[in-house]
Chains A and B, each alone.
Chain A
Amino acid sequence: MTINSGFKVIQSGIFSLIEDAGRFGQHGIGLTTGGPLDREAFRWANRLCGDQQTAAAIEITVGGLVLESTVNTTIAVTGATIPLSINQQSRALWQSHQVKVGDRIELGFASSGSRGYFAVAGGFTINPIFNSAATVPREALGGLHRDGTALQAGDFIPCSESLSAPQQRVPDSHRPDYSSNSTVLRVVLGYQQQAFSHISKQLFFSSEYKVTESSDRMGFRLKGPGIKSTLDGILSEGICLGAIQVPADGQPIVLLNDRQTIGGYPKLGSVLSLDIGKLAQLLPGGILRFEAISIEQAHNLLLLDQQRFADTVLEQVGLDE
């Protein structure tokens, strides 16, 4: 690897962040996990570029990223439907592509979904902080400059050269469809769920909620029928990924990757991690429903998902495609 190999950021797009799988084991000093909001799309992008499930990639919110390659390597873009071109030639998403020195890679703006993932063979070479490259702007930690800043025009993101590899794509049956801007989130009941009345829970699980504008990597604020617990507040306690927090106004907030590690609002339970990506792909106005599952079902779903991912064979792509 030479120090000059990598990608120049020509345009940063709306909001593009370096993310690896996340920063774990640091809650004791108040650090959140960060990492890709849509873990599913992230790991497919990495899988297309090699056997690398957790390598540092770019999370592109909505689009607009333009890069110039100074390296010969393999790339892939998955997630939201964002037009991708290499040297002004349109290229498929969910598929690996060879790029060479001097190539210009342009991403347009999402027509469905909201987060895309740009991975490269071997991952981007990022100096980790607290063992992770994940960018958490709120904590001013991680990313290319280790200070939590999003990518900016003029940045240079290093990565290794890589030998040309056969083009592969994710089978259609494994590609999610974000076009309806609606989804169902599975929920494991927990935390203070007993402080919510039976009627409140029925209302929650039988109603539609809308994604509001106040939704970001910390959490998605929803709007719909208000639900009430018998608690005004609780002593601050640890918050896990996907926790559904219900403040006094009764409007639920689903806490995501950049959530605070502790908080004092009552919580109903947590959204299954496999569904967090589907939520994160929704745009403001997106519609969602909740469905309760048991902890055993959640556990089985996680194991099945892992097995399904491992068993999936990527399709080989002919050169003319």
Chain B
Amino acid sequence: MHSLKNISIAGENSLIVYFGDARTQIISESIASEIAATAAQLRTSLGTQLIDLVASYASLLVIYDPFKTDHHAVRAAIRRALADPIDTDVSQSGALVTLPVYYSAESGPDLQTLADNAGLSIEEVISIHQQSEYRVYAIGFAPGFAYLGELDPRIAAPRLATPRQKVPRGAVAIADRQTAVYPAESPGGWNLIGLCPALMFDPSAEPSMPVQVGDRVRFNAIDRETYLGMGGLL
């Protein structure tokens, strides 16, 4: 199934493709996999004319080399990519990556408050967080920061009124209907519910991230001992 699309100019060497109705701005798995498929096609068809792509929730930014091509030719390549049918089995598109999480009051300082506000027990919050399969909708904010959605509305929570100065690397967090793992220590305003011992960004590894946009992620609870055994820090 194809969504509505609209190609707009972004800058002197960039076009942005909007998927779905730009006014309603729906987040959906089918749009995410359409974007991933379009990105893959453009990588092949544009080759060295392509400088980079930024896939996000409902858009794809296409940055091209203006000394090798122009916006007319890139528009044509985008239209061709969009016209190609994509695999309709959305639920199976993208790789499935499982991330271990040590959920606890010790590793997730906002777990209790989040549970209280949601009218749930801590155990229920942990269980609901693991029940969904999430889609990687965007990567940005910081190297390796993957926005995962959509979170079960029962455990959705607004950002903290006062962001923390320091969120540890590996913090598993919730903001609205999104969840994420902080790839490095940084300031942050998301609700922290646990710690993941896997590195979300490792410049010395190939690939440097375990996920890419369009992949699917599941979380799997581990205990304190396993977390420490996997190299996790407390």
Contact partners of B66 in chain A: CB under 8 A = 299, 302-303
Task: Please give the residue numbers on chain B whose beta carbons come within 8 Å of chain A beta carbons, in ascending order.
Answer: 8-14, 16, 25, 27, 51-61, 63, 66-67, 70-71, 138-145, 147, 184, 201, 203, 207-209, 212-213
Partner of B54, one of A188, A235, A261: A261
Interface residues of A in 279-302 (CB under 8 A from B): 295, 298-299, 302
14 extra interface residue pairs, beta carbon distance < 8 Å, beyond A28-B55, A238-B55, A261-B140? A24-B51, A27-B53, A29-B208, A129-B203, A146-B203, A190-B10, A191-B10, A238-B53, A240-B13, A242-B11, A242-B12, A262-B141, A269-B9, A295-B9
Partner of A299, one of B8, B70, B140, B142: B70
The answer to whether B138 touches A236 (Cβ under 8 A) is: yes
Alpha-carbon distance between A272 and B66 when the two chains are bound, in angstroms: 12
Q: Which 5 pairs from chain A and chain B are nearest by CB?
A: A238-B61, A238-B54, A270-B11, A262-B140, A190-B9
Alpha-carbon distance between A29 and B183 when the two chains are bound, in angstroms: 11
The answer to whether B147 touches A238 (Cβ under 8 A) is: no
Contact partners of A273 in chain B: CB under 8 A = 12-13
Contact partners of B16 in chain A: CB under 8 A = 190-191, 237-238
Contact partners of B208 in chain A: CB under 8 A = 29, 130
Contact partners of A299 in chain B: CB under 8 A = 12, 66, 70-71
Given A29-B208, A140-B184, A235-B25, does the pair A306, B51 have CB atoms closer than 8 Å? no
The answer to whether A235 touches B11 (Cβ under 8 A) is: no
Judge whether A80 is part of the interface by a CB distance below 8 angstroms: no
The answer to whether A29 touches B52 (Cβ under 8 A) is: no
The answer to whether B67 touches A295 (Cβ under 8 A) is: no
The answer to whether B143 touches A25 (Cβ under 8 A) is: no
Judge whether A31 is part of the interface by a CB distance below 8 angstroms: yes
The answer to whether A30 touches B203 (Cβ under 8 A) is: no
Closest to A242 in B: B11
B138 to chain A, nearest CB (A): 6
Closest to A32 in B: B143
Closest to A142 in B: B203
Partner of A234, one of B11, B25, B138: B25
Q: Which of A190, A267, A302 has the most CB of B within 10 A?
A: A190
Alpha-carbon distance between A121 and B188 when the two chains are bound, in angstroms: 43
Closest to A189 in B: B9
Judge whether A135 is part of the interface by a CB distance below 8 angstroms: no
User: How does the 8 Å CB contact mask read for A11-34 relative to B, with 1 for contact and 0 for none?
Assistant: 000000000000011111111000
Contact partners of A237 in chain B: CB under 8 A = 16, 54, 56-59, 61
Contact partners of B144 in chain A: CB under 8 A = 29-30
The answer to whether B10 touches A272 (Cβ under 8 A) is: no
The answer to whether B25 touches A30 (Cβ under 8 A) is: no
Contact partners of B63 in chain A: CB under 8 A = 27, 240
The answer to whether B203 touches A238 (Cβ under 8 A) is: no
Contact partners of B52 in chain A: CB under 8 A = 24-28
Interface residues of A in 135-183 (CB under 8 A from B): 138-141, 146
Classify chain A: how many residues form its interface, as a range: 35 or more
User: How does the 8 Å CB contact mask read for A202-246 relative to B, with 1 for contact and 0 for none?
Assistant: 000000000000000000000000000000001111111111000
Given A24-B51, A28-B213, A260-B141, does the pair A235, B56 have CB atoms closer than 8 Å? yes
Given A29-B143, A139-B142, A299-B70, does the pair A243, B203 have CB atoms closer than 8 Å? no
Q: List 19 A-B contacts (CB under 8 A).
A: A25-B51, A27-B52, A28-B53, A28-B212, A29-B139, A29-B207, A30-B141, A30-B145, A31-B143, A130-B203, A191-B8, A191-B10, A234-B25, A239-B54, A239-B61, A240-B10, A260-B141, A299-B66, A302-B66
Contact partners of B27 in chain A: CB under 8 A = 235
Given A191-B16, A236-B140, A270-B12, does the pair A29, B209 have CB atoms closer than 8 Å? yes
Alpha-carbon distance between A295 and B63 when the two chains are bound, in angstroms: 14
Alpha-carbon distance between A31 and B143 when the two chains are bound, in angstroms: 5
The answer to whether A243 touches B10 (Cβ under 8 A) is: yes
Alpha-carbon distance between A129 and B212 when the two chains are bound, in angstroms: 19
The answer to whether A236 touches B12 (Cβ under 8 A) is: no
B94 to chain A, nearest CB (A): 13
The answer to whether A240 touches B53 (Cβ under 8 A) is: no
The answer to whether A188 touches B12 (Cβ under 8 A) is: yes
Given A141-B143, A238-B54, A262-B141, does the pair A303, B14 have CB atoms closer than 8 Å? no
Q: Which of B27, B56, B58 has the most CB of A within 10 A?
A: B56
Given A130-B203, A237-B56, does the pair A302, B12 have CB atoms closer than 8 Å? yes
